[in-house]
């Protein structure tokens, strides 16, 4: 029996990089979430930073963000490798263009467009969207990882 690995689409700004008064910071528990994601899902970046499948701008955003004190310096290189390992999804006019509506998938975003939400509604896939709010809830990626773990078991 062939098992289909669900796709996981992850936004960058407001999800993996939280906005602070000093600029972007790698969100708390980003390494935990990414490690889980690449181990359990076919993972993609889905971000306005790059809609043509090029990870260069995503990698640049993470390079320019400051690493918080909670991330051990030895983990930073591994984190950098994980970020580079994840391909960027291609889309045209809206992130929803990247959704594989005929396959299982999940989407992490902090600010979905009305069109993306409508696409999910029309395809009975609104439960595939997980709202992430690391800008206001620094530990939110732990909640998200736990939700994804529950969905992965289904």
Residue identified by tokens 């992430």 is 132
Q: Are strands 7-10 and 42-45 parallel, antiparallel or unpaired?
A: parallel
Please state, in angstroms and rounded to a whole number, the distance separating the CA atoms of residues 151 and 108.
13
Q: What is the pTM of this model?
A: 0.94
Name beta bridge partners: 107. 9, 129
Name beta bridge partners: 45. 10, 88
Please state, in angstroms and rounded to a whole number, the distance separating the CA atoms of residues 62 and 42.
20
How many CB atoms lie under 10 A from the CB of residue 100?
12
What does each of the 154 residues of the chain score in pLDDT, given as a tens digit?
A: 677 899 999 999 999 999 999 899 999 999 999 999 999 999 999 999 998 888 999 999 999 998 777 777 788 888 999 999 999 999 999 999 999 999 999 999 999 999 999 999 999 999 999 999 999 999 999 999 999 999 866 5
DSSP type of residue 111:
S
Q: Nearest 5°: phi and psi at 69?
A: -65, -20
Residue identified by tokens 């994980």 is 82
SS3 at position 86: coil
């Amino acid at each position: 029996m062939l098992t289909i690995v669900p796709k996981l689409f992850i936004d960058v700004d407001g999800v993996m990089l939280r906005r602070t008064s000093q600029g972007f910071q790698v969100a708390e528990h980003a390494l935990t979430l990414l490690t889980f994601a690449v181990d359990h899902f076919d993972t993609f970046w889905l971000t306005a930073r790059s809609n043509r499948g090029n990870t260069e701008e995503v990698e640049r955003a993470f390079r320019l963000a400051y690493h918080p004190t909670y991330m051990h310096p030895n983990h930073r290189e591994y984190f950098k490798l994980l970020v580079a390992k994840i391909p960027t999804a291609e889309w045209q006019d809206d992130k929803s263009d990247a959704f594989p509506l005929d396959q299982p998938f999940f989407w992490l975003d902090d600010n979905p467009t009305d069109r993306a939400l409508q696409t999910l509604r029309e395809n009975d896939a609104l439960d595939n969207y997980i709202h992430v709010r690391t800008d206001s809830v620094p530990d939110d990626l732990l909640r998200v990882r736990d939700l994804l773990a529950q969905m992965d078991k289904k």
